[in-house]
């Protein structure tokens, strides 16, 4: 193909140039050329004065040209689509790294490259947010209609049939009151009645997986990592059953358990007992990881921080203590209430902790800074608390279940929703990835609809409610391979990715502590024994003194050098500060 460049090259004559045939792409170029020439002509004199300005203008022009189509129209939305700032903020993981000193070229290049990739990943993730298929639910009242007055029946009537079917009651008055647990994907429900009744249900299809009576009192039930196994805290010991109701293990090391928490990424089952023991069981290998006596009496208030896998325990003296399996003592002790703590819960980002106590108060804490944020007075006090994925708080007071919205951001006066169940509420949990709140009470189980509670978009590789058997197996293998060791449980889970800036001194101190002696300590000088009378007491003393003097000289030399350096830097600083010489300088030493 003939290109304009080639045509120019081909014309061999020096004299009059033969014009190549006009093409539409030529026009643009010519115009550009003209522009440049004009500019050069105009700026010829000024060029030296304002080269930067011309450069800028040139840049602008080229940019404008780039946005132009061949037809001459300009792109009304140039560049990549903008991303809202708050959405970018959602995916921000770290602050920018301070660039190292000049000279460290490779390090600077590496850091620049990693920053660039981080930025790109952040932007891509933020852009991907647009493609998420589902939106969160909501509930709005009409004019002067409180959302808390809307009954569950009305909501169930208003929504589609499948969602309406998620509001149901199970009347189980014989073996109640009931504790409950949803598994991680939110598909399966485990019910444990006080008088020994255990049932696991695929609650969305309402299929009963198994139902047994353990013929003992039950204090808590918990799913393990998958819906294949669950743990039941019975009167004396801890039992593990499979989904068909077959007893797999009876763990006699764990006795009188009152509450349990399962840490899914660590495969740890944490139990709190009436004998004030906090124990950790590694369910992947079946070993007890840690057992600590908290010495605080009966432990019947427990929750986990899903952000850092720290266990929160509430005590009868009004304190909440934070525990990890690596430390014999509590990581943190907080005095939260006057009177005993009745319930504790932590939100999924690990930022807020909500507690309720015997003093009929509901308090919200910032758990990262250990500061109280809000305090509410509930006339009857809340016996159970639960937080949903999107931050709705449910509180059970007697037989009334109330749901609150935004308890930490703005002061709340009215509940978002309220519902009366048939008996006293005993257990409370939001179903993950669904707008459903499960309430276990004296007369069975109630599944409530709470619009806007659940996270609408799940991640298929983490917790997929629709996974097939094969996907589940694959997930299980991967989860086991990525099991986090209990030693890595800390208050700040991202600590592992940060540079440990411990100074040499600090590390040395730790080493001394670990070893029990100082490996770098200077050995005490012991004079060699010399024969033929040369090791007389006087001689030894003399030799000792020689060495001592040598050391002394080193110290003095060092201090003199330091002084000199200090003096120099001081002088420089002074001269740089004042700049000019003053008349009084001559009196300075």
The DSSP 8-state label assigned to residue 131 in this structure reads: G
Least distance between another protein and beta carbon 189 (Å): 17
Q: Which of 2, 59, 461, 477 binds another protein (CB under 8 A)?
A: 461
Under the criterion CB under 8 A, does residue 409 sit at the interface with another protein? no
Q: Which residues contact 249 (CB under 8 A, 6 or more apart)?
A: 239, 240, 286
Least distance between another protein and beta carbon 89 (Å): 11
**433 close to 458: Cβ distance less than 8 angstroms:** yes
Under the criterion CB under 8 A, does residue 468 sit at the interface with another protein? yes
Going from the C-alpha of 89 to that of each of 93, 178, 191, 255, 262, the distances in angstroms are 9, 41, 40, 46, 30
Which single residue is written with the structure tokens 């009876």? 250
Question: Total binding residues for another protein by CB under 8 A?
Answer: 66
Least distance between another protein and beta carbon 220 (Å): 23
Q: Which of 112, 158, 547, 574 binds another protein (CB under 8 A)?
A: 158
Least distance between another protein and beta carbon 418 (Å): 15
- Applying CB under 8 A, the span of 87-95, 311-319, 437-445, 575-583 interacting with another protein comes to 87-95
**301 close to 258: Cβ distance less than 8 angstroms:** no
Residue 228, Cβ density class (10 Å: 0-12 exposed, 13-18 middle, ≥19 buried): middle
Least distance between another protein and beta carbon 61 (Å): 39
Binding mask 503-532 for another protein (x = CB under 8 A): ------------------------------
What count of Cα atoms within 13 Å lies in the side-chain half-sphere of residue 78?
Answer: 10
Under the criterion CB under 8 A, does residue 268 sit at the interface with another protein? no
- Site residues for another protein, 544-563, by CB under 8 A, read none
160 versus 505: smaller Cβ distance to another protein: 160
The continuous run of DSSP H or E covering 296 comes out as: none
Q: Which of 215, 369, 410, 481 binds another protein (CB under 8 A)?
A: 481
Q: Which residues contact 362 (CB under 8 A, 6 or more apart)?
A: 354, 355, 356, 375, 376, 377, 378, 382, 385, 395, 407
Least distance between another protein and beta carbon 64 (Å): 36
Binding mask 412-451 for another protein (x = CB under 8 A): ---------------------xxx-------------x-x
357 versus 454: smaller Cβ distance to another protein: 454
Residue 322, Cβ density class (10 Å: 0-12 exposed, 13-18 middle, ≥19 buried): buried
Strands 319-323 and 332-335 come out as antiparallel
Under the criterion CB under 8 A, does residue 206 sit at the interface with another protein? no
Q: Is the N-terminal amide bond of 117 cis, ω within 30° of 0?
A: no
Under the criterion CB under 8 A, does residue 90 sit at the interface with another protein? yes
- Site residues for another protein, 327-366, by CB under 8 A, read 348-350
Provide the CA 19 distance to its chain's centre, in angstroms: 68
Least distance between another protein and beta carbon 48 (Å): 39
Q: Which of 28, 83, 195, 265 binds another protein (CB under 8 A)?
A: 265
Which single residue is written with the structure tokens 């070893």? 515
Least distance between another protein and beta carbon 162 (Å): 6
Binding mask 107-136 for another protein (x = CB under 8 A): ------------------x--xx--xxxxx
- Applying CB under 8 A, the span of 138-146, 243-251, 366-374, 559-567 interacting with another protein comes to 138-146
**26 close to 4: Cβ distance less than 8 angstroms:** yes
- Applying CB under 8 A, the span of 25-33, 380-388, 488-496, 519-527 interacting with another protein comes to 488-496
- Site residues for another protein, 166-195, by CB under 8 A, read 166
Under the criterion CB under 8 A, does residue 139 sit at the interface with another protein? yes
Q: Which residues contact 186 (CB under 8 A, 6 or more apart)?
A: 431, 432, 433, 434, 454, 463, 465
SS3 27: helix
CA-closest candidate to residue 180, choices 530, 405, 413, 448 = 448
Q: 152-161: which pairs have CB atoms within 8 A and are 24 or more residues apart?
A: 152/419, 152/448, 152/449, 155/449, 155/451, 156/449, 159/449
Under the criterion CB under 8 A, does residue 284 sit at the interface with another protein? no
Q: Which residues contact 305 (CB under 8 A, 6 or more apart)?
A: 311, 312, 322, 346, 350, 353, 367
SS3 277: strand
- Applying CB under 8 A, the span of 74-82, 141-149, 227-235, 337-345 interacting with another protein comes to 141-149
Task: At 51, list the tokens.
Answer: 């080269």
Q: Which of 29, 116, 217, 485 binds another protein (CB under 8 A)?
A: 485
Under the criterion CB under 8 A, does residue 160 sit at the interface with another protein? yes
Distance CA 290, CA 275 (A): 15
Under the criterion CB under 8 A, does residue 137 sit at the interface with another protein? yes
48 versus 162: smaller Cβ distance to another protein: 162
Binding residues for another protein, rule: CB under 8 A, are 90-91, 93, 125, 128-129, 132-142, 145, 150, 154-155, 158-160, 162-163, 166, 265, 306-309, 348-350, 433-435, 449, 451, 454-462, 464-466, 468, 470-471, 481-485, 488, 493-497
């Amino acid at each position: 193909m003939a290109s304009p460049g080639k045509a120019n090259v081909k014309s061999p004559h020096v004299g009059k140039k033969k014009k190549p045939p006009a093409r539409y792409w030529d026009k643009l170029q010519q115009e550009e050329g003209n522009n440049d020439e004009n500019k050069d002509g105009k700026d010829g004199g000024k060029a030296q004065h304002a080269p930067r300005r011309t450069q800028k203008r040139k840049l602008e022009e080229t940019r404008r040209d780039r946005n132009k189509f061949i037809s001459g129209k300009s792109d009304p939305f140039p560049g990549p689509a903008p991303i809202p700032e708050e959405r970018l903020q959602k995916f921000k993981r770290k602050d920018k790294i301070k660039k190292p000193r000049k000279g460290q070229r490779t390090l600077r290049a590496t850091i620049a490259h990693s920053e660039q990739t981080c930025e790109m990943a952040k932007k891509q993730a933020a852009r991907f947010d647009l493609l998420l298929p589902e939106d969160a639910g909501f509930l709005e009242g009409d004019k002067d209609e409180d959302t808390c007055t809307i009954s569950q029946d009305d909501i169930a009537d208003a929504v589609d049939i499948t969602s309406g079917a998620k509001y149901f009651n199970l009347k189980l008055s014989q073996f109640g009151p009931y504790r409950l647990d949803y598994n991680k994907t939110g598909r399966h429900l485990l019910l444990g009645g006080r008088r020994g009744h255990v049932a696991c249900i695929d609650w969305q299809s309402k299929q009963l997986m198994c139902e047994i009576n353990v013929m003992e009192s039950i204090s808590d039930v918990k799913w393990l990592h998958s819906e294949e196994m669950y743990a039941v805290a019975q009167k004396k010991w801890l039992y593990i059953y499979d989904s068909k109701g077959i007893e797999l293990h009876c763990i006699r090391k764990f006795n009188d358990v009152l509450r349990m928490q399962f840490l899914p990424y660590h495969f740890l089952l944490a139990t709190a007992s009436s004998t004030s023991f906090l124990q950790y069981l590694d369910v992947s290998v079946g070993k007890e990881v840690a057992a600590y006596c908290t010495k605080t009496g009966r432990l019947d208030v427990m929750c986990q921080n899903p952000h850092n896998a720290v266990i929160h325990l509430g005590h009868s003296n009004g304190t909440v203590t934070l525990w990890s399996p690596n430390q014999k003592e509590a990581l943190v002790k907080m005095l939260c209430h006057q009177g005993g703590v009745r319930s504790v819960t932590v939100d999924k980002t690990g930022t807020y902790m909500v507690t309720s106590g015997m003093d009929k108060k509901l308090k919200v804490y910032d758990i990262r800074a250990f500061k109280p944020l809000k305090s509410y007075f509930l006339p009857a006090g809340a016996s159970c608390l639960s937080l949903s994925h999107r931050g709705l708080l449910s509180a059970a007071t007697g037989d009334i279940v109330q749901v609150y919205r935004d308890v930490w951001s703005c002061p709340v006066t009215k509940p978002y929703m309220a519902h009366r169940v048939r008996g006293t509420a005993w257990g409370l949990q939001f179903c993950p990835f669904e707008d459903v709140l499960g309430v276990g009470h004296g007369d069975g189980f109630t599944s409530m609809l709470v619009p806007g509670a659940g996270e609408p978009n799940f991640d298929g590789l983490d917790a997929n409610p629709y996974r097939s058997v094969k996907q589940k197996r694959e997930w299980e293998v991967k989860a086991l391979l990525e099991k986090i060791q209990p030693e890595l449980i800390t208050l700040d889970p991202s600590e592992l990715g940060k540079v440990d800036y411990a100074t040499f001194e600090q590390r040395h101190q730790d080493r001394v502590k670990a070893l029990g002696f100082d490996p770098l300590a200077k050995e005490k000088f012991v004079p060699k024994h010399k024969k033929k009378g040369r090791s007389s007491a006087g001689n030894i003393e003399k030799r000792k003194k020689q060495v001592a003097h040598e050391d002394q000289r080193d110290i003095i030399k060092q201090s003199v050098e330091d002084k000199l350096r200090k003096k120099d830097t001081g002088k420089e600083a002074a001269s740089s500060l004042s700049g000019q010489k003053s008349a009084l300088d001559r009196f300075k030493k």
